[in-house]
Amino acid sequence: MNGTNDKDSTPLWTPSADAIAASNMMAFMTLVNARHGVSLGGYDELHAWSVANPALFWDAVWDFTGVIGEKGTTVLADEEKMPGAAFFPEARLNFAENLLRGEGGDTVLLFNNEGVMAAPLTRAELRRDVARFAAVLKSWGVGEGDRVAAFMPNCPETIVAMLAAASLGAVFSSCSPDFGVKGVLDRFGQIEPKVLVACDGYRYAGKVLPAHDKLAEIVAGLPSLEHAAIVPFIGEGPKNIEKAQDWTALLSAAPETELSFTPLPFSHPLYIMYSSGTTGIPKCIVHSAGGTLLQHLKEHRLHCDLRPGETLFYFTTCGWMMWNWLVSGLAAGVTLALYDGSPFAPSGRVLFDYIEAAKINVFGTSAKFIDAVKKSGLSPRETHDLSSMRMILSTGSPLVPESFDFVYEEVKDDVALCSISGGTDIVSCFVLGVPILPVWRGEIQAKGLGMAVEVWDENGTSVTGEKGELVCTRPFPSMPVGFWNDEDGAKYRSAYFERFPGVWCHGDYAEITAHGGIVIHGRSDATLNPGGVRIGTAEIYAQVEQLPEVQEALAIGQDWQGDVRVVLFVVMSEGAVLDEAMEKRIRDRIRSGASPRHVPAKIVAVADIPRTKSGKITELAVRDIVHGREVKNREALANPEALALYRNLPELAS
């Protein structure tokens, strides 16, 4: 956070004494105090205890959240090894069993496709459909360790497919239907799935987009594939796709069998997820069933204070880790509110309509969505009943201080606004919200329980109030099992443990504040180094994107005359022009709000900014294009055609 003003001197939101006393976090602290004879009095003390006593902490999380399974006697083996530590090495559990706990007719899944609501799915109906598709998978010979891939929207059938696969011990992997054929094959081709679950098409921004041609190529490009189940999402079904059968017909014909669950080791592979970078073929990150379950239960029950009967929403596709995070909410007994399509179709009101209609309690979105709502001129507090919403989660990129202001001024003033940050690499968060702490403007509230997060300088010294590398110094359960086809673990160790041996280096450029909060200043590999001084790109965006004339921005460092100069690309709002006066306004804003070192040497207007499938802008791809280098994994981008806008720009030749 740069500069101070009156808004920075007091919290934007503080939980009431009654809410703190009634929270799951305080109930958990009471359990820890009673069990271990300690007298932890607040979050900071609880966090310090959790990282100093990881075995005791994760054992308490298992018990408090009611994990279904055999725990065994050892909680943590080889705890000094990182990587190499083993959590619950004797445990046996099944991920699907933990998400499908309970019986009865309570609603567990809602589905909204661009404002069109489907019939709700009850717990009994979900269990029935999972049992049916599990029977189908079993008849196809799917068992422990086999891969089931999904090319699907964020809809109930995707969750059914995942739970059915997990019930048998199969490994699930997904991407969204907006991926191109090469992007799908770059991912699924590496993991060799036996079964593909796919949609016949999808809807986006009011358009129906059939997928049959893509599917035919995908099926032909996966020689390992034995069967494909096609969900008639747009009502057309499998048509003439090879090895394909209709999902609805498969479930209708499946025998009515009792749902059963294969007990598996804690470290058994559950998900394969993919790095979204543009520097080469995606890394296949393998996550464990036990680690994913326990970490998500901790985050949902303690950090989000979720209770049975509440409704959880996150705007995500099946190509982003937040889908996996959202689905785990079932283990906390909540109803999941699913959404697929554009968040601005049919209008920018659609998600706020959903909050009101579904009485969503915890609403998750991206920082970019909040900024877009702000720039659209909407004031949701004036147009919608948002009384059900008690928490807003934001991730994907840093949430700037002015977006905090907008939420409290124009969305809801009595809401816990929790910026969160972690990654696909850990399928969870390093830093996130805490319902018993205040919210400070521009800050992520705290380090996650059990996460030994620090910020280190270049020399590996822990610093506060200074920018540096976000690291984690002790093991945690949701560390990847490893990378697919990385037998000796060399790629895995290189990705996270090379910079500081034995310590997870996440690749975020971060700062710990005086409140114990965290500010993320951008990705480490995208930091700028003019004159040898490191600058986070998020610090520039936080200033320039407050100007109404600027719709979006992207900054890179351009190698220039033996140094690096800052280049800022801007997408101008409709009717706005980047002239000399506008350039001066941009530079003045950055100079006063950040520092003179942040001021770009060049400002260039562009029509579009390249972004990944999960909506993150990609500075590295633009940097490569500007320097005449090839972007190796264009399929990671949602709009690869935008790269051409940055090639051989005359403005950058002088």
638 and 548 in one domain? yes
For residue 188, is it within any domain?
Answer: yes
For residue 15, is it within any domain?
Answer: no
pLDDT band at 103 (very low <50, low <70, confident <90, very high): confident
**107, burial (CB in 10 Å: exposed 0-12, middle 13-18, buried 19+):** middle
For residue 434, is it within any domain?
Answer: no
Helix (H) or strand (E) holding 265: strand 264-265
405 and 353 in one domain? yes
Q: What percent of the chain has pLDDT over 90?
A: 83
Which has the higher per-residue pLDDT, 347 or 614?
A: 347
249 and 131 in one domain? yes
For residue 609, is it within any domain?
Answer: yes
Say how far apart CA 150 and CA 389 lie, in whole Å.
Answer: 31
218 and 164 in one domain? yes
Query: What pLDDT is attached to residue 3?
Result: 39
207 and 329 in one domain? no
Which amino acid is it at 273?
M
- Which of 262, 277, 292 terminates a domain? The answer is 262
The residue range of the domain holding 330 is 304-419
For residue 315, is it within any domain?
Answer: yes
**In the predicted model, what is the mean pLDDT of residues 113-122?**
96
633 and 540 in one domain? yes
CATH number at residue 130: 3.40.50.980
Query: What pLDDT is attached to residue 6?
Result: 62
- Which of 379, 403, 419 terminates a domain? The answer is 419
Per-residue pLDDT tens for 409-434? 999 999 999 999 999 999 999 999 99
127 and 250 in one domain? yes
- Strand partners for 274: 284
Which has the higher per-residue pLDDT, 276 or 527?
A: 527
CATH number at residue 635: 3.30.300.30
Which has the higher per-residue pLDDT, 170 or 375?
A: 170
| Of 330, 326, 308, the residue nearest 317 (C-alpha) | 326
Structure tokens at 212: 């049959």
Our CA angle for 223, 226, 227, nearest 5°, is: 125
For residue 77, is it within any domain?
Answer: no
- Which residue's entry shows tokens 């592979």? 269
**In the predicted model, what is the mean pLDDT of residues 450-463?**
96
Query: What pLDDT is attached to residue 4?
Result: 43
pLDDT band at 530 (very low <50, low <70, confident <90, very high): confident
Query: What pLDDT is attached to residue 39?
Result: 98
- Which of 262, 284, 319 terminates a domain? The answer is 262
Which has the higher per-residue pLDDT, 50 or 182?
A: 50
**In the predicted model, what is the mean pLDDT of residues 223-233?**
98
Query: What pLDDT is attached to residue 278?
Result: 54
For residue 470, is it within any domain?
Answer: no
313 and 231 in one domain? no
629 and 559 in one domain? yes
For residue 531, is it within any domain?
Answer: yes
Q: What percent of the chain has pLDDT over 70?
A: 98
243 and 132 in one domain? yes
How many domains does the chain fold into?
A: 3
Say how far apart CA 552 and CA 543 lie, in whole Å.
Answer: 11
Helix (H) or strand (E) holding 297: helix 289-297
Sign of the alpha-carbon torsion through 30, 36, 42, 43: negative
Sign of the alpha-carbon torsion through 339, 343, 344, 348: positive
Q: Is the pLDDT of residue 297 over 50?
A: yes
Query: What pLDDT is attached to residue 2?
Result: 39
132 and 229 in one domain? yes
Q: How far, in Å, are 173, 209, 424 from residue 341 at the CA level?
A: 20, 11, 22
Query: What pLDDT is attached to residue 5?
Result: 52
231 and 318 in one domain? no
